[in-house]
Structure 1
Amino acid sequence: MYSPTPDDWRDANRARWDERVPIHVASDFYDLDAFRSGRDALRAFELAEVGDVTGRTLLHLQCHIGMDTLSWARHGARQVVGLDFSEPAVETARSLADELGLGPDRAAFVTADVYDAPSAVPDSAYDIVYTGLGALNWLPDIDRWAETAASLVAPGGFLYLAEFHPLTDTMDAKTGSVVTDDYFSRDAWVDETPGTYADFDAPTVHNRSVEWQHPVGRVVTALAAAGLRIEFLHEHDSSLFQRFDALERHADGHYRYPAGRPRIPLMYSIKASRPAEPGR
């Protein structure tokens, strides 16, 4: 249900994520054995849009257990830093880095709230600030997020965001063809669904979550207001999970509407850059 932002939103969300870390580690969804053996956790469109990261520094905000973060290191980033507010998630990410032979000089992880990132991460600015899918919905203040993220982009660097499209949160869950909720709502969404997207049947105790919907226009405007130049906004017709019953799984593992049926955007991505300093 929608409601004003409850005072315990951060504690409730952290307890939920802390509990789900071991479930995710053991799940087929994340398939850590395959990841350890070399499977890439990043999506093809992210790799194409971000481009070559060789020799660059990268900060991953809200990194969860670090698979995407470490995948960027595998693609040649000189140093990656992952930040998450869940200590169990960060501990898992550090263990994965050790298993992959990536020491702290190549892959470091810190526990902190994303809004506190500037004082928590080891460097003041990064060539690339990256935020992966399923992150913004956990944050109440998109303007503060944009200001925080933008402050960590080095001159000549950029922020890259890949996210689930908020339009999908307004559609009926079965067909994805009827609008049932307000796209522009600023209220918090409080849910108490047990389990997790990685294992819907997993027994869980900390089920209360507090989330927010951020229309794409607000996200773009917040980044521009924070001093970044919008390079592109791309909308994608696929999702990483079966958001609606009508979606079909394709060979690339993504879910799409059946051929011939009208589509809506299911994910989107943004690249926003900071101009290089004069003379460089």
Structure 2
Amino acid sequence: MYSPTPPDWREANRSRWDERVPIHVAGEYYDLDAFRSGKDVLRDFEVAEVGDVTGRTLLHLQCHIGLDTLCWARRGAAHVVGLDFSEPAVETARGLAASLGLGPDRAAFVAADVYDAAEAVPDSSYDIVYTGVGALNWLPDTTRWAETAASLVAPGGFLYLAEFHPLTDVLDDATGSRIVNDYFTRDAWIDQAPGTYADLDAATVHNRSVQWQHPIGEVVSALIAAGLRLDFLHEHDVSLFERFGPLKRHDDGYYRFPADRPRIPLMYSLRASKA
């Protein structure tokens, strides 16, 4: 259901995420035992496009429980900082870092709203500002996000974003072949679905969420207006979950449409640099 942005959107979303942290910690989806044993959860195209992070500083905005953040530390980043608005998520991330022997000098986590990141994080700039998948849809204002993120990129550094393609938000869930929603709407999407993507059957109480779709043109234009230079924009024909009925999981862990069906972009990634 689309509607104007409700005044309690942040509180509703925070309550939803706070409640789901222990479900994610205990479940098989994130498999924290495997992660502690060395499993790398970063997507292969992210690793290739970000490149070598050895000796670099990295800020991860909207980091949830910090798995992606800590993987960058494992890959050699000199110092990583994860930021999320959920206190339980940040406490979990700190515990994971400690269990891996990564102290605050290597991996620090901050509980704050992403729009307040410039005041909340320990350093004024980072070589890499990273945002992983499933983050922008929780924010109403990409202009403010881009300005905040760009202000934290060090000269010579870059912002890297990987996201689900907004085209997927306008297609029907059953087949992914019919347009059923407005691509250009700026209204909020209000959802009341229980459970979580990590456990659809989980018993939950805080089920109301407020989300937005952001066309790629809006995101790119916001970053350019914030003073960054677009290095590349890549579209990917894979997804991380069964977004549409026909998608099938392959051995590499990605979901794809059958070979006899025309492909559409399911994810995208971009890098934008600061001179």
Query: TM class, shorter-chain normalised?
Result: over 0.9
Secondary structure class of the residue paired with 2:182 = coil
CA-based RMSD of the aligned residues comes to: 0.3
Paired position in structure 1 for 2:84: 84
Tell me the distance in 2 between the aligned counterparts of 1:141 and 1:55: 33
Secondary structure class of the residue paired with 1:260 = coil
Give the deviation of 1:263 after TM superposition: 1.1
Say if 2:131 is the partner of 1:131: yes
Paired position in structure 2 for 1:103: 103
Paired position in structure 1 for 2:235: 235
String of CA shifts for 1:211-259, please: whole Å, max 9, x gaps.
Answer: 0000000000000000000000000000000000110100011100000
String of CA shifts for 1:147-182, please: whole Å, max 9, x gaps.
Answer: 000000000000000000011010000110111000
Tell me the distance in 1 between the aligned counterparts of 2:49 and 2:163: 13
Give the deviation of 1:125 after TM superposition: 0.2
Matched AA of 1:127: D
Tell me the distance in 1 between the aligned counterparts of 2:250 and 2:26: 25
Say if 2:266 is the partner of 1:266: yes
Paired position in structure 1 for 2:255: 255
Alignment of 1:1-150 (within 5 A): 1-150=1-150
Secondary structure class of the residue paired with 1:108 = strand
Give the deviation of 1:41 after TM superposition: 1.1
Moved over 3 A (4+): none
Tell me the distance in 2 between the aligned counterparts of 1:69 and 1:78: 12
Paired position in structure 2 for 1:165: 165
Tell me the distance in 1 between the aligned counterparts of 2:191 and 2:232: 33
Secondary structure class of the residue paired with 2:161 = strand
Matched AA of 1:248: K
Tell me the distance in 2 between the aligned counterparts of 1:235 and 1:248: 19
State TM-score, norm by structure 2. Answer: 1.00
**Identity across aligned pairs (percent)?**
79
Give the deviation of 1:184 after TM superposition: 0.5
Secondary structure class of the residue paired with 2:258 = coil
Matched AA of 2:271: K
Structure 1 stretches lacking a partner, 5+ long? 276-280
Matched AA of 1:7: P
Tell me the distance in 2 between the aligned counterparts of 1:237 and 1:54: 29
String of CA shifts for 1:14-42, please: whole Å, max 9, x gaps.
Answer: 00000000000111110101000000010
Paired position in structure 2 for 1:182: 182
Paired position in structure 2 for 1:278: none
Give the deviation of 1:197 after TM superposition: 0.1
Q: Which moved more, 1:125-134 or 1:259-268?
A: 259-268
Secondary structure class of the residue paired with 1:186 = coil
Matched AA of 1:63: C
Secondary structure class of the residue paired with 2:270 = strand
Matched AA of 1:91: E
Give the deviation of 1:126 after TM superposition: 0.1
String of CA shifts for 1:82-124, please: whole Å, max 9, x gaps.
Answer: 0000000000000000000000000000000000000000000
Secondary structure class of the residue paired with 1:272 = strand
Matched AA of 2:170: T
Tell me the distance in 2 between the aligned counterparts of 1:51 and 1:124: 23
The count of aligned residue pairs is 275
String of CA shifts for 1:27-74, please: whole Å, max 9, x gaps.
Answer: 111010100000001000000000000000000000000000000000
Secondary structure class of the residue paired with 1:194 = coil
